[in-house]
């Protein structure tokens, strides 16, 4: 029972995080007004919006079914009801947002998306369990690396919404796609370890579906580029999964080597988000207390770019926490090193940003970045505590104590 409760905490944490991001994306720019006598309600929007609405709720349905544990069933009607109710709440709220129209079809398509996501989870679970391939545990967030895959989906959504007129920002999502492909390939290589071509191909297709859902807001305007990126993500996943696993010691953990590899792509992504568009630095340094580049009445793109900035630092804080947890030192020095990194990295970036011709060093932006980094670290710490409780419970059942190396995933 303790193991199930701890695992349930992990699943619920990510599910509600994804729900909150979905809520933000659908309600931005939060300009609420009292509707006049003419309420904007429609039955139908258009095919593109309908497809977007379905794709938007697929991850929510997937995670919803993941959190059900013993109560779930393969037909996933609970996910359908959740999708319809959650979408209804969003559509009712949009009655009070200016220039928004409440659409009945949006409720149905969102509900269908949640249902498809839940059915997809059931299919994938049966597929892996039937082949005895490390079972479907790889889909859960008991693996910290798998948590990064889930956290990248809303980050890619925000990236797509933040493109605006800077079309070159589209390629930033490819850096996230490469990072995710490497993670998924390494998870297959280390956790499943099956050399079945069909299974590896299915896993590569899963990676392509993951990237397609994450980049869905860019498909309409950049279809060819997104299709090309999606294909590359599948190929990278397949090539990584096909690599022959090396013989390692019992204490070897592949997660840190994988994290160091994906930081090669994630750090440039974060730098380009921070300094885009690239420009020659000026001789003067500008400083503001508020948020740099955000006007008094910001357009949606400015809000999305701020969210991308914060979501990126949150994910960085999560990854740094996992790396620092591996240090062979005391808990105090682990926390101290992590705090130094979270304070130091955005501080240096903010100082350099003050020389950019379109930005200023922002005191409030620095504070937000620190808060986002610690939020990502908190997610990892909560996850680590839950996983340790799971391992302790398992060791008690086996009448043996876990080693310190086994206690850190």
The 3-class SS string of 39-92 reads: CCEECCCCHHHHHHHHHHHHHHHHHHHHCCHHHCCCCCHHHHHHHHHHHHHHHH
Mean pLDDT of 306-330: 89
Q: What is the mean pLDDT of residues 39-52?
A: 75
Burial class (CB within 10 angstroms; exposed 0-12, middle 13-18, buried 19+) of 152:
buried
Long-range contacts made by residues 240-244, C-beta under 8 angstroms, separation at least 24?
A: 240/181, 240/182, 240/184, 240/185, 240/186, 240/188, 240/189, 241/184, 241/185, 241/188, 241/189, 241/200, 241/203, 241/204, 242/200, 243/185, 243/189
Residue 208 has pLDDT above 90, yes or no: yes
**Structure tokens, 397:** 């059942």
Q: In sequence order, what are the residues at sequence separation of 6 or more whose Cβ sits closer than 8 angstroms to the Cβ of residue 173?
A: 156, 159, 160, 214, 215, 218, 229
Backbone region of residue 40 per phi and psi (left: phi > 0; alpha: psi in -120 to 50; beta: other values): beta
Q: What is the DSSP letter of 277?
A: S
Q: What is the mean pLDDT of the chain?
A: 82
- Residue 399 confidence class, pLDDT cut points 50, 70, 90: low
CA separation for the pair 94, 25 (Å, rounded): 12
Cβ neighbours of 227 (radius 10 Å): 14
Tokens of 9: 């905490």
For the segment 371-400, the average pLDDT, to the nearest whole number, is 75
Cβ neighbours, 10 Å, residue 35: 14
Q: Which of 310, 293, 295, 321 is nearest to 378 (CA)?
A: 321
72 has pLDDT over 70: no
End-to-end CA distance of the chain: 21
- Is 60 exceeded by the pLDDT of residue 305? yes
Q: Residue 198 corresponds to which tokens in the numbers above?
A: 């069909």
d(CA 125, CA 118): 11
Cβ contact 346:313 at 8 Å: yes
- What residue has token string 């590899």? 261
Tokens linked to 400: 């043996």
Q: Which residues, 6 or more positions from 216, have their beta carbon under 8 angstroms from its beta carbon?
A: 52, 55, 56, 157, 160
Angle, helices 254-275 vs 300-324, to 10°: value is 150
Q: What pLDDT band is residue 96 in, cutting at 50, 70 and 90?
A: confident
What was the pLDDT predicted at 49? 83
User: Across the strands, what pairs with 287?
Assistant: 361
Long-range contacts of 288-297 (CB under 8 A, 24+ apart): 288/360, 288/361, 288/362, 288/363, 289/362, 289/363, 289/364, 290/362, 290/364, 291/362, 291/364, 291/365, 291/368, 292/353, 292/359, 292/360, 292/361, 292/362, 292/365, 293/358, 293/359
Whether 366 contacts 292, CB under 8 Å: no
Which residues, other chains included, contact 165 with Cβ-Cβ below 8 Å and sequence gap of 6+?
Answer: none
pLDDT of residue 343: 95
Lowest-confidence pick of 19-23, 55-59, 298-302, 348-352: 298-302
- Can you tell me the distance from the alpha carbon of 70 to that of 155, in angstroms, rounded to the nearest whole number? 30
Element (H, E) at 248: none
Question: What is the rounded CA–CA span in Å between residue 51 and residue 106?
Answer: 10
Query: Tokens in use for 84?
Result: 């319809």
Q: Is the pLDDT of residue 251 over 50?
A: no
Contact at 8 Å (CB) between 52 and 105?
A: no
Under 8 Å between Cβ of 213 and 55 = yes
Say what the pLDDT of residue 293 is.
66
136-174 per-position pLDDT tens digit: 555 555 678 888 999 999 999 999 888 877 888 889 999
């Amino acid at each position: 029972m303790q193991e199930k409760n701890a695992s349930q905490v992990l699943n619920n944490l990510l599910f509600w995080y994804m729900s909150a991001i979905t809520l933000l994306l659908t309600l931005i720019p939060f300009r609420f007004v009292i509707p006049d006598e003419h309420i904007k309600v429609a039955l139908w929007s258009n095919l593109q919006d309908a497809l977007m609405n379905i794709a938007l709720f697929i991850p929510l349905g997937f995670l919803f079914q993941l959190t059900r544990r013993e109560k779930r069933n393969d037909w996933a009607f609970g996910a359908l009801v959740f999708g319809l109710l959650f979408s209804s709440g969003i559509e009712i709220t949009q009655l009070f947002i200016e220039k928004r129209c409440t659409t009945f079809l949006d409720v149905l398509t969102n509900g269908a998306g949640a249902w498809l996501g839940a059915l997809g989870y059931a299919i994938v679970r049966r597929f892996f369990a039937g082949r005895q391939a490390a079972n479907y545990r790889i889909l859960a967030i008991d693996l910290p690396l798998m948590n990064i895959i889930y956290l990248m989906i809303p980050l890619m959504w925000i990236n797509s919404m933040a493109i605006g007129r800077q079309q070159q920002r589209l390629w930033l999502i490819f850096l996230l796609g490469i990072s995710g492909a490497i993670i998924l390939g390494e998870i297959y290589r280390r956790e499943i370890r099956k050399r079945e071509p069909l299974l590896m191909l299915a896993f590569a297709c899963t990676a392509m579906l993951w990237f397609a859902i994450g980049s869905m807001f860019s498909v309409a305007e950049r279809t060819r580029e997104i299709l090309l990126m999606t294909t590359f993500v599948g190929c990278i996943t397949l090539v990584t999964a096909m690599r022959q696993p090396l013989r390692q010691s019992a204490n070897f953990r592949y997660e840190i080597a994988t994290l160091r590899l994906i930081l090669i792509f994630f750090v440039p992504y974060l730098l380009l988000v921070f300094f885009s568009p690239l420009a020659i630095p000026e001789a003067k340094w500008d400083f503001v207390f508020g948020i740099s580049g955000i006007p008094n009445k910001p357009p949606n793109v400015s809000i999305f770019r701020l969210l991308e900035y914060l979501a990126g630092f949150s994910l960085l804080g999560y990854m740094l926490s996992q790396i620092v947890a591996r240090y062979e030192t005391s808990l105090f020095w682990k926390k101290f090193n992590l705090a130094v990194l979270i304070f130091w990295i955005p501080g240096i970036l903010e100082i350099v940003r003050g020389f950019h011709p379109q930005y200023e060093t922002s005191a409030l932006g620095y504070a937000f970045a620190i808060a986002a980094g610690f939020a990502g670290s908190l997610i990892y710490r909560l996850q680590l505590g839950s996983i340790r409780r799971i391992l302790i419970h398992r060791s008690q059942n086996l009448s043996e104590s876990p080693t310190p190396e086994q206690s850190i995933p």
